[in-house]
Structure 1
């Protein structure tokens, strides 16, 4: 089972779900606004992909933050912001098992698609 985390109104998240369905992958979608992500999960994602990869700097929420919040970032402060503002989490996030180990991926590039297909075999 693949877990996809994102926002239900996000076009990229919708494309990810459509792609997974078309591939016949077993997945469930978690809307980060309806069910806010716990810090422990964010920390696991950040350990796997890096907090700077996880931080969505293209969102309106990011642009609306005050200058101090945007410029004085480290991992702790970035994760604090993502806990408070789910739109600051880059999406979609995939959680899946690869050779028995829990793995994470961000976005929907061809390399990740291949890993997700393999994980479901």
Structure 2
């Protein structure tokens, strides 16, 4: 099974996802979007699949530290995608894509159901 994890390496949820796959002997590729960026196409696909409100991480420190004017301007998928493309730390992590399905965030029970 080809699994791709999108995220940043020092994120706790990303670390949990990597550990889950390693413990279950599932190979994965890791895409560090802090270093490599994230494509407009991926952001559009994730927003369509999960909803932009779920892809945009409003609970994180990065969002909380943004200027209020920037936050107010995020009203729809297009404005959320622009912000996430410019500031990848506002993307909920990890985003995992696989032939079995895609998932966002880390929930061990959901991972077990999908991948084991």
Same fold? TM cut 0.5: yes
Shift of 1:116: 2.2
d(CA) in 2 for partners of 1:111, 1:23 = 14
With normalisation by structure 2, the TM-score equals 0.90
Secondary structure, in 3 states, of the residue corresponding to 2:102? Answer: strand
Higher strand share: 1
Corresponding residue to 1:91 among 90, 93, 101: 93
Question: Where does the alignment leave 5 or more consecutive residues of structure 2 unmatched?
Answer: none
Are residue 4 (structure 1) and residue 5 (structure 2) matched?
yes
| C-alpha separation in 2, matches of 1:45 and 1:28 | 18
Q: What RMSD, in angstroms, separates the aligned Cα atoms of the two structures?
A: 1.2
Structure 1 runs of 4+ with >2 Å offset: none
Q: CA deviation at 1:81?
A: 0.4
Q: Report what 2:113 is aligned to.
A: 114
1:28 is paired with a residue whose SS is strand
Question: TM-score scaled by structure 1?
Answer: 0.87
- For structure 1, the 5+ residue unaligned runs are none
